[in-house]
Homo-oligomer: A and B are copies of this chain.
């Protein structure tokens, strides 16, 4: 059950009719479900009860689906007929998407550290007189806003975050707690989670006669609209050109992004991945957890990089790779099978 200490609904319940409308879903043909039935909460297939809605979107959960006590469930059309008795199947071409969309209507998106009793602009924040703050923007206690910073409307700056001089932030952007941002221009509807560090020096040194000469880093970071950046990510600013995080790029926790990296629209990067300097990542690329991409590479649109793999060469668009060094994923699987056969002979 959703813990109501932490999460609050926008509305006590939705009717089946409302859910169909919000999510653009339909009912199985020939059913005569009561469209006024009330949906009071969401739950997993294993835990949901009569008044709750769940979703079934992956064969891995078939067993749980078949035994679920959920009163309602988003499903693909082909699965609707398998719904256990007592469950109303709600058909959507993308049940997980439908669930997500409904959830956004059902629950408030609570800020990590609301401290609602605190005032909109906390008296315990340190804000430069030359900073410009838009209407409806919240700035929590302990945050430090530098000179000439421009923050748009309806933004949220979390507690103890530090926004460096001259940084620009669009509208409706959320920056959570303990974030440090400098040398950066950020768009609209961006979410930056706790502890991300954005805009610090890229890692550049020239070795000469036992001395490591620091190379001043003179590019910035650009973060486009609708991007989301996970907790404790580090994104270095460019050396001369800019580091760019494209529109709607979604980055999980603790991802390292080196200087001059360019990530194009819609790319999704799982936790602990690392992209070394100057690599260019295409659109809607999927990068698995703890994968590494060496520097100065190009990864084509729609490529898939398996978790934990280490990419050392360019990857063509739509290609799937895995392993260390990363090779086409089928080749990697073949090699792993071969290796196991090789040692079985000896046993």
Q: Which residues of A contact B (CB under 8 A)?
A: 2-3, 5-7, 42-44, 47, 60, 94, 96-97, 99-101, 103-104, 107, 109-110, 112-118, 122, 124, 126, 128-130, 140-142, 144, 146-148, 158-160, 162-166, 176-178, 180, 182-183, 193-195, 197, 199-201, 203-208, 210-216, 218-220, 228, 230-232, 234, 236, 240-242, 248, 250, 252-254, 256, 258, 266, 268, 270-272, 274, 276, 284, 289-290, 292, 294, 296, 307-308, 310, 323-325, 327, 331, 334-336, 338-340, 342-343, 346
Contact = CB atoms under 8 A, between A and B. Distances in A.
Contact of A126 (B43, B124, B266, B310): B124
Given A97-B207, A112-B183, 4 more contacts: A43-B240, A100-B213, A103-B218, A126-B159
The prevalent SS among residues of A at the interface is: loop
B342 A338 contact: yes
A291 B1 CA distance: 32
Contact of A254 (B7, B141, B166, B254): B254
A26 to B, nearest CB: 16
Contact of A253 (B122, B160, B234): B234
A207 B272 CA distance: 21
Number of copies: 3
A270 B266 contact: no
A310 to B, nearest CB: 4
A221 to B, nearest CB: 10
A182 B140 CA distance: 15
Contacts of A294: 289, 307
A294 B271 CA distance: 11
B178 A162 contact: yes
A182 B324 contact: no
Contacts of A346: 334
